[in-house]
Amino acid sequence: MGSTRHDGDTWDLASGVGATATAAAAARAIASRSEPRLIDDPFAEPLVRAVGIDLLTRLATGETDPDELVGRTAVDGAKVRTRFYDDFFLAATRAGVAQVVILASGLDSRAYRLPWPSGTVVYEVDQPGVVEFKTRALADLGAEPTADRRAVAVDLRDDWPAALRAAGFDRALPTAWSAEGLLGYLPPEAQDRLLDTVTDLSAPGSRVATESRPNPRPGDEDRTRASLDRTSERWREQGFDTDMATLRYFGERNEAGPYLSGLGWTLTGSSVRDLLAAHGLPPIEDDDLRMAGLLYVSGVLGE
């Protein structure tokens, strides 16, 4: 059983917050099989296998039916989320942005699978154990990056801008930043600090993409916790002992979209509800996780 999040807690890809990155990769593997027109992540399944969580491996490979353990909402959510960030990066780099930073990169394989324009540098920022594991696992698969990939092994709670600069990051160049599936795992003040830092490191013309979740209404978070508890119990019955509800920070926080707008970013956004409809996917029926109204936002920093 997990314990409540606290400052300075640690994890790897098989436990704690790190296991959410592995679960996200398992969802991408399932989504890649069911909807290749939207998502083609050939590395998701072998990376999940390499982590070695039995349940997630069985889900990623298709050995275990995901319906009762993952659910359509999570799989369809992985489809639209992956497509949103893929399209964001490709649009940014085709527009001439040659410097990319993926924050909390986890098992993200975009540096290996997207058709990056020549000269693109992709910085992947995550904890040392995470980036070292993924680098080694992909090398064992014979995978080669499709960009100049630079792993930045640092905890986002430490001086990650210094580590980024040491890897060659040039703050004078426009940058395409992503904070995918990250903000809900940060305390509210740490979220604001991260977005402030991203803005401070960004030259005019930089781009950003992340999720902006509306603040909860009365009862929303109780339903979310109960839903996460049900999922955790089903997974526990299958031998994967985790406690999903303890991994997030709940409560009021600044919504990322308006906060970034206040820092000078010009944003556009689409809700999960809108993205599902745009890609011909069915609407969300059971929304205890408050997914439908979640906004995916992206935008440009002005002068």
So where are the chain's domains? 16-301
Residue 98 makes CB contacts below 8 A (sequence gap 6+) with 117, 119, 120, 121, 173
**H helical segments located in 114-171:** 128-140, 160-166
CATH 3.40.50.150 applies to domain 16-301:
yes
Q: Residue 17: its pLDDT value, please?
A: 59
Length reported for the chain: 303
Q: Enter the tokens of residue 140.
A: 């064992």
Q: Residue 214: its pLDDT value, please?
A: 82
This prediction's pTM: 0.89
Q: Enter the tokens of residue 136.
A: 């080694």
Q: Residue 235: its pLDDT value, please?
A: 66
First to last CA, the chain: 49
Q: From the first residue on, what is the mean pLDDT of each consecutive set of 10 residues in the chain (303 residues)? A: 39 62 91 91 96 91 82 88 97 97 96 98 95 95 97 94 98 97 90 97 98 74 69 72 63 91 97 94 76 89 84
Residue 116 makes CB contacts below 8 A (sequence gap 6+) with 93, 100, 122, 146, 147
Classify residue 129 as exposed, middle or buried by CB count within 10 Å of its CB (0-12, 13-18, 19+): middle
Q: What is the largest CA-CA distance in the chain?
A: 54
Tell me the C-alpha distance between 48 and 10, whole Å.
20
